Structure 1
Amino acid sequence: MQHIRPIRAAGAQLWLVLLCAALLMTGCGNVAAPATNDAAAISTSPATPEISRDFTLPTLNGGTLSLSDLRGEWVVLNFWATWCAPCVKEMPYLSTVAETRDVHVVGVNFNEDAATVRKFVADHAIDFPILLDPDDITLLVYGVRGLPRTFVIAPDGTIAHSVIGQLDPDRFDRWLDEHGVPLRQ
Protein backbone atom coordinates (compact mmCIF):
# COMPACT_ATOMS: atom_id res chain seq x y z
CA MET A 1 0.00 0.00 0.00
CA GLN A 2 1.35 3.36 -0.97
CA HIS A 3 1.08 6.22 1.52
CA ILE A 4 0.42 9.72 0.27
CA ARG A 5 1.65 12.54 2.46
CA PRO A 6 -1.06 15.08 3.15
CA ILE A 7 -0.29 18.64 2.12
CA ARG A 8 -0.09 20.81 5.16
CA ALA A 9 -2.64 23.62 5.07
CA ALA A 10 -0.17 26.25 6.24
CA GLY A 11 2.34 25.28 3.57
CA ALA A 12 -0.32 25.31 0.88
CA GLN A 13 -1.50 28.75 1.98
CA LEU A 14 2.04 30.08 1.90
CA TRP A 15 2.55 28.78 -1.63
CA LEU A 16 -0.76 30.32 -2.71
CA VAL A 17 0.25 33.72 -1.31
CA LEU A 18 3.67 33.49 -2.96
CA LEU A 19 2.10 32.52 -6.27
CA CYS A 20 -0.34 35.45 -6.13
CA ALA A 21 2.46 37.85 -5.24
CA ALA A 22 4.61 36.56 -8.09
CA LEU A 23 1.76 36.94 -10.57
CA LEU A 24 1.08 40.50 -9.44
CA MET A 25 4.75 41.48 -9.52
CA THR A 26 5.11 39.99 -12.97
CA GLY A 27 2.26 42.15 -14.22
CA CYS A 28 3.48 45.34 -12.59
CA GLY A 29 5.93 47.17 -14.75
CA ASN A 30 5.55 44.76 -17.67
CA VAL A 31 2.07 45.88 -18.67
CA ALA A 32 2.55 48.85 -20.96
CA ALA A 33 0.44 50.74 -23.43
CA PRO A 34 0.99 49.57 -26.99
CA ALA A 35 2.82 51.84 -29.42
CA THR A 36 -0.25 52.02 -31.67
CA ASN A 37 -3.42 54.01 -31.09
CA ASP A 38 -5.41 50.79 -30.63
CA ALA A 39 -6.91 51.31 -27.18
CA ALA A 40 -8.54 47.86 -27.32
CA ALA A 41 -5.14 46.31 -26.60
CA ILE A 42 -5.23 47.54 -23.01
CA SER A 43 -8.75 48.71 -22.29
CA THR A 44 -12.06 46.98 -22.76
CA SER A 45 -15.72 47.76 -22.42
CA PRO A 46 -17.70 44.53 -22.02
CA ALA A 47 -20.34 43.79 -24.67
CA THR A 48 -22.56 42.40 -21.94
CA PRO A 49 -22.27 44.45 -18.76
CA GLU A 50 -21.09 42.50 -15.75
CA ILE A 51 -22.36 43.45 -12.30
CA SER A 52 -19.56 44.64 -10.04
CA ARG A 53 -19.05 42.60 -6.90
CA ASP A 54 -19.66 44.34 -3.61
CA PHE A 55 -17.00 44.46 -0.94
CA THR A 56 -16.31 46.23 2.33
CA LEU A 57 -12.71 47.11 3.13
CA PRO A 58 -10.94 49.14 5.82
CA THR A 59 -9.88 52.69 5.02
CA LEU A 60 -6.64 54.30 6.12
CA ASN A 61 -8.46 56.37 8.74
CA GLY A 62 -9.87 53.32 10.53
CA GLY A 63 -13.33 53.29 8.96
CA THR A 64 -14.72 51.05 6.25
CA LEU A 65 -16.09 51.63 2.78
CA SER A 66 -18.46 49.39 0.86
CA LEU A 67 -18.72 49.59 -2.90
CA SER A 68 -22.51 49.39 -2.55
CA ASP A 69 -22.41 52.70 -0.63
CA LEU A 70 -21.49 54.36 -3.94
CA ARG A 71 -24.27 52.75 -6.00
CA GLY A 72 -26.00 55.35 -8.16
CA GLU A 73 -22.74 57.16 -8.92
CA TRP A 74 -19.78 56.63 -11.24
CA VAL A 75 -16.81 54.90 -9.58
CA VAL A 76 -13.21 54.54 -10.77
CA LEU A 77 -11.81 51.54 -8.87
CA ASN A 78 -8.02 51.31 -9.06
CA PHE A 79 -5.91 48.40 -7.75
CA TRP A 80 -2.33 49.44 -6.97
CA ALA A 81 0.76 49.12 -4.73
CA THR A 82 3.50 51.53 -3.61
CA TRP A 83 6.23 49.36 -5.19
CA CYS A 84 4.54 49.33 -8.60
CA ALA A 85 6.15 52.03 -10.80
CA PRO A 86 3.21 52.37 -13.26
CA CYS A 87 0.84 52.65 -10.26
CA VAL A 88 2.91 55.48 -8.80
CA LYS A 89 3.03 57.26 -12.19
CA GLU A 90 -0.75 57.27 -12.61
CA MET A 91 -1.60 58.51 -9.08
CA PRO A 92 -1.41 62.24 -9.96
CA TYR A 93 -3.76 61.65 -12.90
CA LEU A 94 -6.21 59.73 -10.69
CA SER A 95 -6.14 62.66 -8.24
CA THR A 96 -6.99 64.98 -11.15
CA VAL A 97 -9.90 62.73 -12.16
CA ALA A 98 -11.17 62.80 -8.56
CA GLU A 99 -10.95 66.61 -8.48
CA THR A 100 -12.38 67.39 -11.92
CA ARG A 101 -14.97 64.67 -12.60
CA ASP A 102 -18.24 63.85 -10.89
CA VAL A 103 -16.91 60.40 -10.04
CA HIS A 104 -15.68 58.59 -6.93
CA VAL A 105 -12.08 57.46 -7.34
CA VAL A 106 -11.26 54.63 -4.92
CA GLY A 107 -7.86 52.99 -4.62
CA VAL A 108 -7.45 49.43 -3.34
CA ASN A 109 -3.93 48.75 -2.11
CA PHE A 110 -2.39 45.34 -2.64
CA ASN A 111 -1.17 43.68 0.54
CA GLU A 112 0.82 46.46 2.21
CA ASP A 113 0.69 47.58 5.82
CA ALA A 114 -1.24 50.71 6.75
CA ALA A 115 1.88 52.65 7.82
CA THR A 116 3.56 52.17 4.42
CA VAL A 117 0.41 53.15 2.54
CA ARG A 118 -0.30 56.12 4.84
CA LYS A 119 3.22 57.51 4.26
CA PHE A 120 2.88 57.07 0.49
CA VAL A 121 -0.51 58.82 0.46
CA ALA A 122 0.89 61.74 2.48
CA ASP A 123 4.05 62.02 0.36
CA HIS A 124 2.03 62.05 -2.88
CA ALA A 125 -0.89 64.22 -1.65
CA ILE A 126 -3.51 61.65 -2.62
CA ASP A 127 -6.93 62.92 -1.63
CA PHE A 128 -9.23 60.10 -2.70
CA PRO A 129 -10.12 57.11 -0.48
CA ILE A 130 -7.51 54.37 -0.24
CA LEU A 131 -8.69 50.98 0.98
CA LEU A 132 -6.58 48.20 2.42
CA ASP A 133 -7.06 44.63 1.21
CA PRO A 134 -4.81 42.69 3.60
CA ASP A 135 -6.04 39.28 2.47
CA ASP A 136 -6.10 40.18 -1.25
CA ILE A 137 -9.62 38.80 -1.54
CA THR A 138 -10.91 41.75 -3.57
CA LEU A 139 -8.09 41.41 -6.09
CA LEU A 140 -8.91 37.73 -6.56
CA VAL A 141 -12.66 38.39 -6.86
CA TYR A 142 -12.04 41.03 -9.55
CA GLY A 143 -9.55 38.80 -11.37
CA VAL A 144 -6.65 41.21 -10.99
CA ARG A 145 -3.49 39.50 -12.28
CA GLY A 146 -1.24 42.53 -12.64
CA LEU A 147 -0.98 46.06 -11.35
CA PRO A 148 -2.23 48.64 -11.95
CA ARG A 149 -5.75 47.57 -12.89
CA THR A 150 -8.63 50.01 -13.17
CA PHE A 151 -12.37 49.42 -13.45
CA VAL A 152 -15.03 52.02 -14.21
CA ILE A 153 -18.29 51.13 -12.51
CA ALA A 154 -21.46 52.74 -13.85
CA PRO A 155 -24.20 54.13 -11.59
CA ASP A 156 -26.25 50.94 -12.13
CA GLY A 157 -23.42 48.88 -10.60
CA THR A 158 -22.14 47.33 -13.82
CA ILE A 159 -18.51 47.28 -14.89
CA ALA A 160 -18.55 49.67 -17.84
CA HIS A 161 -14.83 49.70 -18.62
CA SER A 162 -11.58 48.04 -17.58
CA VAL A 163 -7.95 49.01 -18.13
CA ILE A 164 -5.00 46.69 -17.59
CA GLY A 165 -1.80 48.63 -17.00
CA GLN A 166 -1.08 52.31 -16.57
CA LEU A 167 -3.87 54.67 -17.59
CA ASP A 168 -3.34 56.82 -20.66
CA PRO A 169 -4.92 60.15 -19.58
CA ASP A 170 -6.02 61.19 -23.10
CA ARG A 171 -7.69 57.85 -23.84
CA PHE A 172 -9.27 57.59 -20.40
CA ASP A 173 -10.60 61.18 -20.51
CA ARG A 174 -12.01 60.51 -23.99
CA TRP A 175 -13.75 57.36 -22.70
CA LEU A 176 -15.20 59.28 -19.73
CA ASP A 177 -16.46 62.03 -22.07
CA GLU A 178 -17.97 59.57 -24.55
CA HIS A 179 -19.84 57.77 -21.77
CA GLY A 180 -21.26 60.85 -20.10
CA VAL A 181 -19.15 60.96 -16.95
CA PRO A 182 -19.63 64.66 -16.13
CA LEU A 183 -17.12 67.25 -15.05
CA ARG A 184 -17.64 68.72 -11.59
CA GLN A 185 -19.59 71.98 -11.54
Structure 2
Amino acid sequence: MKKTLIIIVMIGMFGWAVYDLAFQADSKSNPNTSEEMEQEVPDSSNDKVNNTSGTEASVGLNIGDIAPDFKLQTLKGENVKLSDYRGKRVMVNFWATWCPPCRAEMPDMEKFYQNKDVVILAVNLTQTEGNLQEVKDFVNEYRLSFPVLLDNESKVAMNYEIRPIPTSFMIDSNGIIQHKVLGALNYERMVQEFKKMK
Protein backbone atom coordinates (compact mmCIF):
# COMPACT_ATOMS: atom_id res chain seq x y z
CA MET A 1 0.00 0.00 0.00
CA LYS A 2 2.81 2.39 0.90
CA LYS A 3 4.64 1.59 -2.34
CA THR A 4 1.51 2.25 -4.36
CA LEU A 5 0.95 5.58 -2.63
CA ILE A 6 4.56 6.60 -3.18
CA ILE A 7 4.33 5.67 -6.87
CA ILE A 8 1.12 7.68 -7.28
CA VAL A 9 2.70 10.71 -5.59
CA MET A 10 5.82 10.39 -7.76
CA ILE A 11 3.75 10.18 -10.95
CA GLY A 12 1.75 13.23 -9.87
CA MET A 13 4.92 15.18 -9.12
CA PHE A 14 6.43 14.17 -12.46
CA GLY A 15 3.26 15.24 -14.30
CA TRP A 16 3.27 18.58 -12.50
CA ALA A 17 6.96 19.11 -13.33
CA VAL A 18 6.33 18.43 -17.04
CA TYR A 19 3.33 20.75 -17.03
CA ASP A 20 5.22 23.51 -15.21
CA LEU A 21 8.21 23.10 -17.51
CA ALA A 22 5.96 23.45 -20.56
CA PHE A 23 4.64 26.78 -19.27
CA GLN A 24 8.13 28.07 -18.43
CA ALA A 25 9.46 27.04 -21.83
CA ASP A 26 6.54 28.79 -23.52
CA SER A 27 7.14 31.98 -21.54
CA LYS A 28 10.85 32.05 -22.47
CA SER A 29 10.62 30.91 -26.09
CA ASN A 30 7.52 32.87 -27.02
CA PRO A 31 7.75 36.35 -25.47
CA ASN A 32 4.63 38.09 -26.76
CA THR A 33 3.98 41.76 -26.74
CA SER A 34 0.89 42.91 -24.92
CA GLU A 35 -0.58 43.84 -28.31
CA GLU A 36 -0.33 40.24 -29.52
CA MET A 37 -1.82 38.99 -26.25
CA GLU A 38 -4.84 41.24 -26.66
CA GLN A 39 -5.58 39.67 -30.04
CA GLU A 40 -5.75 36.19 -28.51
CA VAL A 41 -7.38 37.16 -25.22
CA PRO A 42 -9.71 40.11 -25.74
CA ASP A 43 -9.43 42.78 -23.08
CA SER A 44 -12.71 43.10 -21.24
CA SER A 45 -11.37 45.25 -18.40
CA ASN A 46 -13.87 47.97 -19.27
CA ASP A 47 -16.79 45.61 -18.66
CA LYS A 48 -18.72 46.51 -15.54
CA VAL A 49 -21.48 44.34 -14.15
CA ASN A 50 -23.15 44.19 -10.78
CA ASN A 51 -22.28 40.99 -8.95
CA THR A 52 -24.54 39.12 -6.54
CA SER A 53 -23.64 41.41 -3.64
CA GLY A 54 -24.88 44.41 -5.65
CA THR A 55 -21.41 45.96 -6.02
CA GLU A 56 -19.84 46.69 -9.36
CA ALA A 57 -17.63 43.85 -10.58
CA SER A 58 -14.51 44.16 -12.69
CA VAL A 59 -12.55 41.59 -14.68
CA GLY A 60 -10.57 39.20 -12.51
CA LEU A 61 -10.12 35.61 -11.42
CA ASN A 62 -11.78 35.67 -8.00
CA ILE A 63 -15.34 34.81 -7.07
CA GLY A 64 -17.47 37.88 -7.77
CA ASP A 65 -15.24 39.05 -10.66
CA ILE A 66 -16.15 39.10 -14.34
CA ALA A 67 -14.43 36.15 -15.99
CA PRO A 68 -11.79 37.32 -18.49
CA ASP A 69 -12.99 36.94 -22.04
CA PHE A 70 -11.13 34.72 -24.48
CA LYS A 71 -11.40 33.46 -28.03
CA LEU A 72 -10.29 29.96 -29.04
CA GLN A 73 -10.95 27.46 -31.80
CA THR A 74 -12.82 24.22 -31.17
CA LEU A 75 -11.71 20.79 -32.34
CA LYS A 76 -14.25 21.25 -35.14
CA GLY A 77 -12.56 24.47 -36.28
CA GLU A 78 -15.19 26.91 -35.00
CA ASN A 79 -14.18 30.14 -33.24
CA VAL A 80 -15.70 30.49 -29.76
CA LYS A 81 -15.64 33.43 -27.36
CA LEU A 82 -16.63 33.17 -23.72
CA SER A 83 -18.62 36.43 -24.06
CA ASP A 84 -20.77 34.75 -26.75
CA TYR A 85 -22.45 32.88 -23.89
CA ARG A 86 -23.56 35.85 -21.79
CA GLY A 87 -27.07 35.11 -20.61
CA LYS A 88 -26.22 31.44 -20.00
CA ARG A 89 -24.58 29.59 -17.14
CA VAL A 90 -21.13 28.38 -18.15
CA MET A 91 -18.56 25.96 -16.80
CA VAL A 92 -15.03 26.63 -18.09
CA ASN A 93 -12.77 23.64 -17.46
CA PHE A 94 -9.00 23.53 -18.10
CA TRP A 95 -7.70 20.01 -18.75
CA ALA A 96 -5.28 17.73 -20.62
CA THR A 97 -5.46 14.12 -21.82
CA TRP A 98 -2.44 13.05 -19.72
CA CYS A 99 -4.01 14.28 -16.45
CA PRO A 100 -5.58 11.41 -14.42
CA PRO A 101 -8.01 13.66 -12.44
CA CYS A 102 -9.12 15.23 -15.75
CA ARG A 103 -9.89 11.76 -17.08
CA ALA A 104 -11.80 10.93 -13.91
CA GLU A 105 -14.12 13.94 -14.13
CA MET A 106 -14.90 13.79 -17.87
CA PRO A 107 -17.77 11.25 -17.63
CA ASP A 108 -19.38 13.43 -14.93
CA MET A 109 -18.92 16.54 -17.08
CA GLU A 110 -20.63 14.81 -20.01
CA LYS A 111 -23.51 13.72 -17.75
CA PHE A 112 -23.77 17.29 -16.37
CA TYR A 113 -23.85 18.70 -19.92
CA GLN A 114 -26.55 16.25 -20.98
CA ASN A 115 -28.78 16.72 -17.90
CA LYS A 116 -28.58 20.46 -17.21
CA ASP A 117 -29.02 23.62 -19.27
CA VAL A 118 -25.33 24.50 -18.98
CA VAL A 119 -22.63 25.49 -21.44
CA ILE A 120 -19.36 23.62 -20.93
CA LEU A 121 -16.22 25.01 -22.51
CA ALA A 122 -13.48 22.42 -22.02
CA VAL A 123 -10.20 24.25 -22.65
CA ASN A 124 -7.53 21.72 -23.59
CA LEU A 125 -3.93 22.70 -22.81
CA THR A 126 -2.98 21.61 -26.31
CA GLN A 127 0.63 22.75 -26.08
CA THR A 128 1.24 20.11 -23.37
CA GLU A 129 -0.17 17.28 -25.52
CA GLY A 130 1.96 14.98 -27.66
CA ASN A 131 -0.16 15.82 -30.70
CA LEU A 132 -3.67 16.86 -31.67
CA GLN A 133 -4.69 13.29 -32.47
CA GLU A 134 -4.39 12.44 -28.75
CA VAL A 135 -7.07 15.05 -28.01
CA LYS A 136 -9.33 13.75 -30.79
CA ASP A 137 -8.90 10.16 -29.58
CA PHE A 138 -9.69 11.23 -26.00
CA VAL A 139 -12.88 13.02 -27.09
CA ASN A 140 -13.98 9.94 -29.05
CA GLU A 141 -13.10 7.53 -26.23
CA TYR A 142 -15.13 9.50 -23.69
CA ARG A 143 -17.86 10.38 -26.22
CA LEU A 144 -17.75 14.05 -25.30
CA SER A 145 -20.42 16.19 -26.93
CA PHE A 146 -19.59 19.57 -25.35
CA PRO A 147 -17.19 21.99 -27.10
CA VAL A 148 -13.49 21.20 -26.67
CA LEU A 149 -11.40 24.34 -27.16
CA LEU A 150 -7.73 24.24 -28.15
CA ASP A 151 -5.39 26.51 -26.19
CA ASN A 152 -2.49 25.88 -28.58
CA GLU A 153 -0.09 28.37 -27.01
CA SER A 154 -1.42 28.21 -23.42
CA LYS A 155 -2.24 31.93 -23.54
CA VAL A 156 -5.70 31.52 -22.04
CA ALA A 157 -4.37 29.16 -19.35
CA MET A 158 -1.70 31.71 -18.46
CA ASN A 159 -4.24 34.54 -18.43
CA TYR A 160 -6.38 32.46 -16.05
CA GLU A 161 -3.29 31.61 -13.97
CA ILE A 162 -3.96 27.89 -14.26
CA ARG A 163 -1.57 25.75 -12.26
CA PRO A 164 -3.12 22.48 -11.13
CA ILE A 165 -5.39 20.84 -13.63
CA PRO A 166 -8.19 20.28 -13.85
CA THR A 167 -9.34 23.74 -12.80
CA SER A 168 -12.95 24.81 -13.30
CA PHE A 169 -14.77 28.14 -13.18
CA MET A 170 -18.55 28.25 -12.76
CA ILE A 171 -19.73 31.48 -14.39
CA ASP A 172 -23.25 32.86 -14.08
CA SER A 173 -25.41 34.37 -16.83
CA ASN A 174 -23.90 37.82 -16.17
CA GLY A 175 -20.37 36.55 -16.73
CA ILE A 176 -19.54 36.61 -13.01
CA ILE A 177 -17.39 33.87 -11.49
CA GLN A 178 -19.52 32.16 -8.85
CA HIS A 179 -17.29 29.20 -8.04
CA LYS A 180 -13.70 28.17 -8.72
CA VAL A 181 -12.38 24.66 -8.15
CA LEU A 182 -8.77 23.46 -8.26
CA GLY A 183 -9.02 19.74 -8.92
CA ALA A 184 -11.64 17.34 -10.20
CA LEU A 185 -15.37 17.83 -9.64
CA ASN A 186 -17.94 15.06 -9.39
CA TYR A 187 -21.43 15.26 -10.87
CA GLU A 188 -23.15 16.05 -7.57
CA ARG A 189 -20.83 18.99 -6.89
CA MET A 190 -21.34 20.34 -10.42
CA VAL A 191 -25.12 20.26 -9.96
CA GLN A 192 -24.86 21.80 -6.49
CA GLU A 193 -22.86 24.78 -7.79
CA PHE A 194 -25.03 25.07 -10.91
CA LYS A 195 -28.16 25.46 -8.75
CA LYS A 196 -26.56 28.37 -6.89
CA MET A 197 -26.07 30.36 -10.10
CA LYS A 198 -28.64 32.48 -11.87
TM-score, with structure 2 as normaliser: 0.66
Contact kept in structure 2, 1:149 and 1:165, CA below 8 Å: yes
User: How many residues are treated as equivalent by the alignment?
Assistant: 141
2:68 equivalent among 35, 40, 53: 53
Quick one: higher RCO (CA 8 Å, sep 6+), 1 or 2? 1
The answer for unaligned runs of 5 or more in structure 1 is: 1-16, 23-44, 181-185
Q: Quote the offset at 1:119 in angstroms.
A: 1.1
Q: Return the alpha-carbon distance in structure 2 between the equivalents of residues 179 and 103 of structure 1.
A: 11
Is 1:105 the counterpart of 2:105? The answer is: no
Is 1:154 the counterpart of 2:172? The answer is: yes
Q: Which residue matches 2:34?
A: none
Greater share of helix: 2
Counterpart secondary structure, 2:101: helix
Identity level (%): 37
Contact kept in structure 1, 2:73 and 2:80, CA below 8 Å: yes
Q: Return the alpha-carbon distance in structure 2 between the equivalents of residues 171 and 165 of structure 1.
A: 12
Is 1:170 the counterpart of 2:185? The answer is: no
Q: Which residue matches 2:21?
A: 18
Contact kept in structure 1, 2:170 and 2:193, CA below 8 Å: no
Q: Quote the offset at 1:90 in angstroms.
A: 0.3
TM-score, with structure 1 as normaliser: 0.70
Q: Which has more radius of gyration? A: 1
Is 1:84 the counterpart of 2:99? The answer is: yes
Is 1:142 the counterpart of 2:163? The answer is: no
Aligned partner letter, 1:18: L
Counterpart secondary structure, 1:50: coil
Q: Return the alpha-carbon distance in structure 2 between the equivalents of residues 101 and 130 of structure 1.
A: 18
Q: Quote the offset at 1:75 in angstroms.
A: 0.4
Compared CA separation, residues 78 and 21, structure 1 to 2 (3 A): farther
1:116 equivalent among 111, 126, 134: 134
Contact kept in structure 2, 1:114 and 1:132, CA below 8 Å: no
Contact kept in structure 1, 2:178 and 2:197, CA below 8 Å: no
Q: Which residue matches 2:17?
A: none
1:63 equivalent among 52, 55, 78: 78
Aligned partner letter, 1:95: E
Compared CA separation, residues 139 and 99, structure 1 to 2 (3 A): same
